[in-house]
Structure 1
Amino acid sequence: MMERKRIIGVDPGSLHTGYGIVESGKGGLIRVLISGTIHLSPRKPFTERLGLIFRELVKIIKEFRPCGMAIEDVFCAANPKTALKLGQARGAALLSAITEGIPVYEYSPLEIKQAVVGYGRASKNQVHRMITTLLGSHVPGDSHASDALAVALCHLNSEKLRNLSKVR
């Protein structure tokens, strides 16, 4: 019998950080417990935005008690300043998991798209459509939240594959 697993997926950003918690259960059924986006005002100092990402994710982790965090790994951005801000937002999210004592699993955008859509170069729209197909009407229209759910699903799919390879 498969044990229930709750995973929080995070799509970090300095203005919009998506999150989503999925739970896997009997028969491979996966359901969405919560998903959304932490919207951050560009008028607020950057350090305040980082603090908000951290506090909001800690609150969500405390309420839903996931057994791990799956997060999008750093990718190269064309603008070094943008890449640095993204890395710092990612750091605030990572710290929320570390503070709450849950393990962190990192996946590249290519791995996430491959695991969810079957094609590593899929568009955001294709990812959103597949997440809606897989998880039903519980998926918000917001691309940040659906990307976070995709990261969580990527982890569940990757974990299944790791467990299958141990059996063989």
Structure 2
Amino acid sequence: MRVLGVDPGLTRCGLGVVEGMPGRPPVMVAVGVIRTPVEDEVAQRLVRIEAELEQWIAEHKPDAVAVERVFAQHNVRTVMGTAQASGVAMVVAARRGLPVALHTPSEVKAAVTGSGRAGKEQVTSMVTRILQLPERPTPADAADALALAICHVWRGGVAGKLQQAAAARAHLEARAEAQARLQKARLRAAVEAQQGKAARQGRTVSGGSR
């Protein structure tokens, strides 16, 4: 599974592509940051984020996109920009037909470090170790994007398999139920046919006795 992790932000939007599967060490494919000028209009900055996301998806062809779930912060202006960038990432992925997963910061931290309260330094250190990188990914937005991708590879992959197993089980149960209904209908038809035959024979015998 190849996952594009997106750490949304209006000024800096972290991107990280990781490939792997549950139970195996993931491998980094690419990492980077989309930067937009603060002096530009918000709409233009979002257009730039959209265009670069399109390029990343076209180039790296991920199977899924993992985006950090936005939570309210003290700085309303910051959280609004983050939410806007997050929305753009989800729209770009959906337009391409890619599944989108939202992971909370605590989920990502727990998946990468084992603690949902880990700090950014600890997350960056563990991302570097997990991916066996020669140097720490910077800035923190890039490391967070890789952490998101790792989280989804490990957790999303397992969830996906569970969903597939559940779907397969539901299909088998529905098929068995349909076969049971068909068997009951055939049995009922056979009984009715037998009863009709017996009734006709009874009328024949009765008529002949007269």
TM-score, structure 1 length as denominator? 0.89
| Residue identity matched to 1:70 | A
Structure 2: where are the runs of 5+ without partners?
A: 167-210
State the Cα distance separating 1:27 from its structure 2 match.
7.0
| CA separation of 1:34 and 1:124: change in aligned 2, threshold 3 A | same
Note if contact 1:55-1:96 (Cα within 8 Å) is conserved in structure 2.
no
| CA separation of 1:102 and 1:140: change in aligned 2, threshold 3 A | same
Structure 1: where are the runs of 5+ without partners?
A: none
Q: Which structure has more helix as a fraction of its residues?
A: 2
Identify the match of residue 105 of structure 1 among 101, 105, 123.
101
State the Cα distance separating 1:44 from its structure 2 match.
1.2
The range that moved more, 89-98 or 13-22, is: 89-98
Q: How many residue pairs get matched?
A: 163
Identify the match of residue 49 of structure 2 among 49, 53, 62.
53
Task: Give yes or no for the alignment of 1:90 onto 2:82.
Answer: no
Q: Which structure has more strand as a fraction of its residues?
A: 1
| CA separation of 1:161 and 1:98: change in aligned 2, threshold 3 A | closer
State the Cα distance separating 1:83 from its structure 2 match.
1.7
Partner of residue 29, structure 1: 25
Within 5 A, what are the aligned runs for 1:1-168?
5-24=1-20, 28-137=24-133, 140-162=137-159, 163=161
Alignment deviations for residues 118-163 of structure 1 (CA, whole Å, 9 cap, x no partner): 1111111110000001012265222111100000011111134434
State the Cα distance separating 1:95 from its structure 2 match.
1.2
Note if contact 2:67-2:103 (Cα within 8 Å) is conserved in structure 1.
yes
Note if contact 2:15-2:142 (Cα within 8 Å) is conserved in structure 1.
yes
Question: 1-side partners of 2:111 and 2:21: how far apart?
Answer: 19
State the 4+ residue runs in structure 1 displaced beyond 4 angstroms.
Answer: 164-167
CA RMSD of aligned residues (A): 2.0
Question: 1-side partners of 2:98 and 2:144: how far apart?
Answer: 21
The range that moved more, 36-45 or 124-133, is: 36-45
- Structure scoring higher RCO (CA < 8 A, sep ≥ 6) equals 1
State the Cα distance separating 1:25 from its structure 2 match.
5.9
Alignment deviations for residues 24-83 of structure 1 (CA, whole Å, 9 cap, x no partner): 169723211110101111011111110111110111101111010001001111122222
| Residue identity matched to 2:156 | E
SS of the aligned residue for 1:28 comes to: coil
TM-score, structure 2 length as denominator? 0.72
SS of the aligned residue for 1:112 comes to: helix
